[in-house]
Amino acid sequence: MKILVTGASGLVGKAVSDQLLRDYTDTTFCFLTSKTCDLRNCDEVQRVFGHFLPDVVIHLASRVGGLYGNMNNNYTFLTDNLKINMNVLEMSNRFGVKKLINILSTCIFPDKNVVYPLTSDQILNGEPHFSNEGYAYSKRMLYVGSNLLNKTDSKMKIINLIPTNLYGNHDNYHLIDSHVIPGLIHKCFLAKCDNTDFFIKGSGMAYRQFLFVEDFARVISDFVDYQDNATLIVSPPKESEITIRTLVDYIVQAFDFRGNVVYESDYADGQMKKTTDSAELLRYFPDFTFTDLREGLKRNVDFFIENFDNVRK
């Protein structure tokens, strides 16, 4: 079996690559990064697929950012990700890939007209939140394109996995363009080092759920052997939902930060709620267990401190 992984150097990519190497010892791998192939370029994607001829494609690559990165780059996030996603989908079809595993996101769901906890059949029930509409629509088109391809005579099986907010070691810890957890970890680290206040953009009242990236990597690896199409949410139970203020408390505890925490409520909070549940995943893997958030955060904080000079920031 030959497995091609896009986005292999990112947060999910590193965790998935490590998991696959443990789980599939008699397999040939192609781990693609932006340095080895520009997935926006159709000719480059065709060259890679034509040379490697993968049996399985795990499509992780995206242009991503946190709340403010999305708000400031909606057009670019739309166009870049449309190119990436459509090139991967088309070349998978053209070169006879047997299985394509796509990674979507809970942020593609409508901001309104949904029933909580979210279910995978509600993706197209309305417009996504304005703050990340470029990224959201590009992922929706990957979902739509996959469904349309399934209606042709293609024999490719397509699995669409929809994780809630991911966190883990090999993330981008940029102070502005990162996702919420790596951004908060970096800010808290600096506040402790400099003996300053820990400033949080927004009121902290938005609700979120978080999935440890190593848990998600196990899910992806398990689906490599699944023999049908599937679309499902990958999330801890709905009871795991917390406010950003609670998340900040957990990070403060992990750092043993003793200074002041200041919420700058003039900044946007983004979508206030997008509750998900573990029910869809547990239909496939009833015994799956999730890493406790506080345990995962402590591991993430320790990794950041030990690797501060080398992490993406």
The catalytic residues are 135
In order of 33, 41, 84, 208, 222, the CA distances from 38 in angstroms are 8, 6, 8, 32, 28
How many degrees, rounded to 5, is the angle at CA 258 between CA 257 and CA 261? 85
In order of 1, 24, 34, 62, the CA distances from 27 in angstroms are 5, 6, 23, 25
Picking from 167, 113, 122, the residue whose alpha carbon sits closest to that of residue 140 is 122
Return d(Cα 156, Cα 150) in angstroms, integer.
8
Query: What Rg value do the Cα atoms of the chain yield, rounded?
Result: 19
Return d(Cα 183, Cα 308) in angstroms, integer.
13
Helices (H), the chain: 11-23, 42-52, 67-72, 74-94, 133-150, 180-194, 213-223, 244-255, 279-284, 293-306
Picking from 304, 261, 271, the residue whose alpha carbon sits closest to that of residue 128 is 271
Say whether the peptide bond before residue 54 is cis (omega within 30 degrees of 0): no
Token pair, residue 143, equals: 């979902």
DSSP per-residue string spanning 97-132 = -SEEEEE--GGGSBSSS--SSP-GGGTTSSPBPGGG
Dihedral angle sign, alpha carbons of residues 33, 270, 243, 305: positive
Return d(Cα 163, Cα 179) in angstroms, integer.
14
